[in-house]
Amino acid sequence: MKSGKRLKQQMQETLPGWQDKFLSYKDLKKLVRLISSVTPIKCDKAEAEFVYFLNNEIDKFNAFFMEQEEDFVIRHKELQQRVQRVIDTWVPNGSQPSETEYKEEMSKIRKNIVNFHGEMVLLVNYSNRNYTGLAKILKKYDKRTRGLLRLPFIQKVLQQPFYTTDLVSKLVKEMQYSLWERMKRQGIIIIIIIIIIGETK
């Protein structure tokens, strides 16, 4: 199984709601075959239909990507606030609930971080996979029709929101480093506080 098919299968199993958000490669491939078999007179109309289809695909990618990106920004902020509430609860002036409650809440937060991180990585892979599919179908189009559509279209794609994954990549890195490290450091400090409180009782 090719890596692209494996990635698509993994994404479909993990997030089945994303299935119709990917490039309709098979439909585009059929259209390329059709275009390469038509007469030169009908070729312009077929090319216009192909470009229209590609533009609709890009609109689909952008709408989905931006919706997910916005959701991730909100969830990231909520997760940071949740971590801060746990930390504030466990500082010396906080209410300091039981150690069991603390461990349960930290376990939930860690699980949320892992799941959230995984979803963001899948979105970056979604972007890469769709870009790769576009590049492949455009290469196939140019080869079969002897056209020159690939270069100008790829230049357009490079400016699209779904291709510019900077914000999501930044959130992924932040989740990997700052938030996780912050929790780890606070976990160590809280364990020390628990030990100190236990020794004084």
The pTM assigned to this predicted structure is 0.77
Read off the pLDDT band of 157 (50, 70, 90): very high
Mean pLDDT computed over 126-153:
91
The domain containing residue 127 runs over which residues?
Answer: 22-200
Domain presence at residue 8: no
The tally of domains found in the chain comes to 1
Domain presence at residue 5: no
Whether residue 25 contacts residue 132, with contact meaning beta carbons closer than 8 Å, is answered with: no
Which has more pLDDT, 188 or 66?
66
Domain presence at residue 148: yes
Look at residue 146 in the predicted model and tell me its pLDDT: 85
pLDDT digits (tens, 9 = 90+) for 29-63: 988 988 888 777 677 788 888 999 999 999 999 99
Look at residue 71 in the predicted model and tell me its pLDDT: 95
Domain presence at residue 6: no
pLDDT digits (tens, 9 = 90+) for 51-94: 999 999 999 999 999 999 999 999 988 988 887 887 777 766 66
Domain presence at residue 2: no
Domain presence at residue 15: no
Domain presence at residue 13: no
Domain presence at residue 181: yes
Give the helix/strand (H/E) hosting 32. helix 25-37
d(C-alpha 84, C-alpha 105), whole Å: 12
Look at residue 194 in the predicted model and tell me its pLDDT: 45
- Three-state secondary structure string covering the chain: CCHHHHHHHHHHHHCHHHHHHCCCHHHHHHHHHHHHHCCHHHHHHHHHHHHHHHHHHHHHHHHHHHHHHHHHHHHHHHHHHHHHHHHHHHCCCCCCCCHHHHHHHHHHHHHHHHHHHHHHHHHHHHHHHHHHHHHHHHHHHHHHHCCCCHHHHHHHHCCCCCCCCHHHHHHHHHHHHHHHHHHHHHHHHHHHHHHHHHHHC
Look at residue 195 in the predicted model and tell me its pLDDT: 44
Cβ neighbors of 12 (< 8 A, separation 6 or more) are 18, 19
